[in-house]
Amino acid sequence: AQRVTQPEKLLSVFKGAPVELKCNYSYSGSPELFWYVQYSRQRLQLLLRHISRESIKGFTADLNKGETSFHLKKPFAQEEDSAMYYCALSPTGFQKLVFGTGTRLLVSP
Amino acid sequence: NAGVTQTPKFQVLKTGQSMTLQCAQDMNHEYMSWYRQDPGMGLRLIHYSVGAGITDQGEVPNGYNVSRSTTEDFPLRLLSAAPSQTSVYFCASSYSGEGRMTEAFFGQGTRLTVV
């Protein structure tokens, strides 16, 4: 069975502090992994795909197959990063997503 | 392009009533899906479609029907609403890149309350 675990419901940091949102997955194959973000009153949107290995808005995420993790990191948090973040997995060959329960990031001034 | 459009944005139903949530996309994406978002549970897949005329069940399909007669539209029907179906519903569309999922584009959501 496929499962995505985000252990933190809420992560509260001060502006300028480093941020790490944890994501662990369970899947027997090689999944596609994503981070989606939902800002207040906006629709869910893609932040990162593991396969593209990009840095978006200062965020990076590295796939660690040994630890089955895909943690999202940013060295210096900004207030505008406050949002709900979802880690998601797409099973190989399927056009569907399995989501974690989400982590709300709150960045205070 | 409007992207993915969902209607209505808000709806209140009485237990036992039926209704259809509409979803349309103008990006010519093959794949469309419906998710429900509940507090503490993230988004869960209800039904999805890999093309016109082809649908399949997701994780929580009971109480919902779908059909895909055109590439653009993917309505979700609640047959007999129950309070457990109170949720925020999201429609999404996507395309594949070399057989892999690329990016899912989401609608703005429909907030449904069943009383």
Residues in chain B within 8 Å Cβ distance of A96: 33, 45, 48, 58, 101
Predicted pLDDT of residue A53: 74
Looking at chain B, which residue has its C-alpha nearest residue A85? B42
Give residue A14's pLDDT band: very low, low, confident or very high (50, 70, 90).
very high
Q: For residue range B79-101, what is the model confidence (pLDDT) as tens digits? A: 999 999 999 999 999 988 777 77
Q: Is the pLDDT of residue B1 over 80?
A: no
User: Across the strands, what pairs with A93?
Assistant: none
**Could you tell me which of B110, B38, B115 has the C-alpha nearest to residue B75?**
B110
Q: What is the DSSP string of A28-55?
A: SS--EEEEEEE-TTS--EEEEETTTT--
Q: Is the pLDDT of residue A76 over 90?
A: yes
Average pLDDT, chain A: 92
HSE toward the beta carbon, residue A103, CA cutoff 13 A: 25
User: Across the strands, what pairs with B65?
Assistant: B77
Do A95 and B50 count as a contact with CB atoms less than 8 A apart? yes
Q: For residue range B23-81, what is the model confidence (pLDDT) as tens digits? A: 999 999 999 999 999 988 999 999 999 999 999 999 999 999 999 999 999 999 999 99
Do B101 and A90 count as a contact with CB atoms less than 8 A apart? yes
Q: For residue range A34-71, what is the model confidence (pLDDT) as tens digits? A: 999 999 989 999 999 987 777 889 999 988 888 999 99
What's the rounded Cα separation, in Å, for the pair A24 and A63?
10
What's the rounded Cα separation, in Å, for the pair B114 and B50?
30
Do A44 and B100 count as a contact with CB atoms less than 8 A apart? no
Q: Hey, which bits of chain A come out as E strands? A: 3-5, 10-14, 19-21, 24-26, 32-38, 45-49, 60-61, 72-74, 83-90, 98-99, 103-108
- Please report which helix (H) or strand (E) contains residue B91, including its range: strand B87-97
